[in-house]
């Protein structure tokens, strides 16, 4: 009998209205456990408890918040291996990537432990004699956090940590596909001495938990990472109650490869950006825009490297790329592989791996001969698939790179300082990489994009305060 895992509401572990199976995408016969699926009433109970806990905990001051986050970081660091194993088992990342993501989560909590003590304000001279003006940041109150399956500990960490650091209470709804890692993190937060009600875990379908968050008047803000349609729906619902929202959504990220680039460096950057984490990253390099003079040489080298990747179970020592996270995602990826052929691309790889029938395995796919108006070059696939688009010169490369409804991350491989500087200046993305993969970011600087990729204040680093706090201006006359 598999273990049953409960929701955390108001400091108590509670059953849900039903149970959801959590299965291993490397081996679907492996039932990881049964996880409680919460109700709207669970969200409302969590919100009431969170509001009470937030007021009393915030009154204790920033040192209490810093100490709590520091203890959570220590708890993560002490349990890196069980956390990483759960992550690899339920999401499919190879173990080395799962371990790195878990370590990153600890670093994020440690960083925001410091930020709890560094939140500053301003004192400004008034235009009126004898009047002082103080500007300070204060917490919002209760925040709802909705996180995706592709980074099941890092993304919850970079939402929970700043929320608590700046004095808020939290209701976390993790992805249905990866509840196990979030549940282990919740246990660590409880063990760290988090006051009852300050942090709540309500698992369950977004169609039920999300509207409950958005309709509850005690929930002041919602931070969401996931698909564009869901993000737009959240924005519409939040507008009804004037809730603050932060949305991180899709990407169709370009990587430009100029003819003066170091080919080996460019291949390594594109291989990492397009195929590591099975391409299941919003920052993945899904459009490779290559100058025509080196196009054929680049495609030959990248195709050889991509098809040479060892695809296999997450725990296999030789695996370099794990499974696709779910059967439905694999079906979606394979449909785009078929579409690429229909649209006139030469497809290298991309097949389901029938030799591994127990899991959701697919070979990396390159869509050679793609153009930027094809659906495979415009729609986010969220799998190990990348379009290769040939361009004539730098101006065309920039135009193609920017011709997308998304604007999360972009990159260029070049030996030219001029091209690097111009691309950095002209790219309509929130993050720009030069001679680096488009995926892979630091935790102490802003994360986010433009256009259809992001809405609201940035995540991570000191910029997180823009979302998790509100500004109060005070005028004081001493008489």
Phi, psi of 103 (to 5 degrees): -60, -40
355 is an active site residue: no
Left if phi > 0, otherwise alpha if psi is -120 to 50, otherwise beta: which for 88? alpha
The string of DSSP letters for 260-283 reads: TS-HHHHHHHHHHHHHGGGG--TT
Which of 262, 307, 285 is closest to 387 using CA atoms? 285
Distances in Å between the Cα of 185 and the Cα atoms of 67, 170, 172 are 17, 13, 11
Of 90, 97, 115, 248, which is the active-site residue?
248
The whole-number pLDDT of residue 1 equals: 41
Which one is catalytic: 270, 282, 345, 413? 282
What gap in Å lies between CA 238 and CA 254, rounded to an integer? 31
Rounded (5°) CA angle 280-224-111: 85
Backbone torsions φ then ψ of 183, nearest 5 degrees? -65, -40
Assess whether 413 carries a catalytic annotation: no
Residue 291's DSSP bridge partners are 391
- List pLDDT tens digits, range 151-187: 999 999 999 999 999 999 999 999 999 999 999 999 9
Angle between helical axes of 292-307 and 263-275 (0-180°, round to 10): 50
Distance CA 323, CA 312 (A): 7
Please state whether 130 falls in left (phi above 0), alpha (psi between -120 and 50) or beta. left
Q: Compute mean pLDDT per 10 residues along the chain, 479 residues long, and list them.
A: 86 96 97 97 98 98 98 98 98 98 98 96 94 97 98 98 98 98 98 98 97 97 96 95 96 98 98 98 98 98 98 97 98 98 98 96 98 98 98 98 98 98 98 97 96 97 97 94
Using CB atoms within 10 Å of the CB of residue 383, give its burial: 0 to 12 exposed, 13 to 18 middle, 19+ buried.
buried
pTM: 0.96
Order of strands, edge to edge, in the sheet holding 469-477? 122-125, 131-139, 469-477
CA-to-CA distance for 173 and 193, rounded, in angstroms?
21
Q: What's the pLDDT tens digit per position in 177-221?
A: 999 999 999 999 999 999 999 999 999 999 999 999 999 999 999
């Amino acid at each position: 009998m598999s273990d049953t895992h409960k929701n955390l509401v108001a400091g108590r572990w509670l059953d849900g209205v039903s149970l959801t199976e959590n299965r291993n995408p490397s081996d679907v016969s492996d039932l990881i456990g049964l996880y409680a699926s919460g109700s709207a009433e669970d969200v409302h109970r969590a919100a009431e408890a969170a509001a009470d806990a937030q007021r009393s905990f915030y009154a204790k001051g920033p040192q209490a918040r810093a100490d709590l986050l520091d203890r959570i970081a220590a708890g993560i660091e002490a349990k890196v291996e069980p956390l990483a194993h759960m992550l690899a088992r339920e999401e499919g990342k190879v173990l080395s990537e799962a371990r790195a993501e878990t370590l990153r989560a600890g670093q994020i909590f440690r960083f925001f432990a410091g930020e709890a003590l560094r939140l500053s304000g301003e004192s400004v001279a008034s235009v009126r004699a004898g009047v002082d003006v103080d500007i300070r940041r204060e917490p919002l109150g209760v925040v709802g956090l909705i996180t995706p399956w592709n980074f099941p500990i890092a993304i919850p960490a970079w939402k929970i940590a700043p929320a608590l650091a700046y004095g808020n209470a939290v209701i976390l709804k993790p992805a249905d596909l990866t509840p196990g890692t979030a549940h282990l993190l919740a246990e660590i937060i409880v063990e760290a001495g988090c006051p009852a009600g300050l942090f709540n875990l309500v698992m369950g379908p977004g169609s039920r938990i999300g509207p409950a968050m958005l309709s509850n008047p005690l929930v002041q803000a919602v931070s969401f990472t996931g698909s564009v349609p869901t993000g737009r729906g959240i924005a519409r619902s939040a507008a009804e109650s004037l809730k603050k929202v932060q949305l991180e959504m899709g990407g169709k990220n370009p990587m430009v490869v100029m003819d003066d680039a170091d080919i080996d460096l460019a291949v390594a950057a594109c291989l990492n950006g397009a195929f590591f984490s099975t391409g299941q990253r919003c920052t993945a390099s899904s459009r490779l825009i290559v100058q025509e003079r080196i196009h054929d040489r680049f495609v030959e080298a990248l195709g050889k490297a991509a098809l040479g990747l060892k695809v296999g179970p997450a725990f296999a020592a030789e695996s370099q790329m794990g499974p696709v996270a779910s059967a439905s995602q694999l079906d979606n990826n394979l449909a785009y592989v078929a579409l690429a052929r229909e649209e006139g691309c030469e497809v290298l790889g991309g097949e389901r791996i029938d030799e591994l029938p127990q899991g959701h395995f697919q070979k990396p796919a390159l869509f050679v001969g793609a153009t930027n108006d094809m659906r495979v070059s415009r729609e986010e696939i969220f799998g190990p698939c990348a379009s290769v688009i040939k361009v004539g010169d730098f101006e065309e490369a920039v135009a193609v790179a920017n011709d997308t409804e998304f604007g999360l991350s972009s990159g260029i491989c070049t030996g030219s300082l001029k091209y690097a500087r111009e691309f950095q200046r002209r790219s309509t993305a929130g993050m720009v990489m030069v001679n680096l993969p488009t995926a892979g970011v630091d935790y102490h600087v802003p994360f986010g994009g433009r256009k259809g990729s992001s809405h609201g204040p940035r995540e991570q680093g000191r910029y997180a305060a823009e979302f998790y706090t509100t500004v109060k201006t005070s005028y004081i006359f001493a008489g």
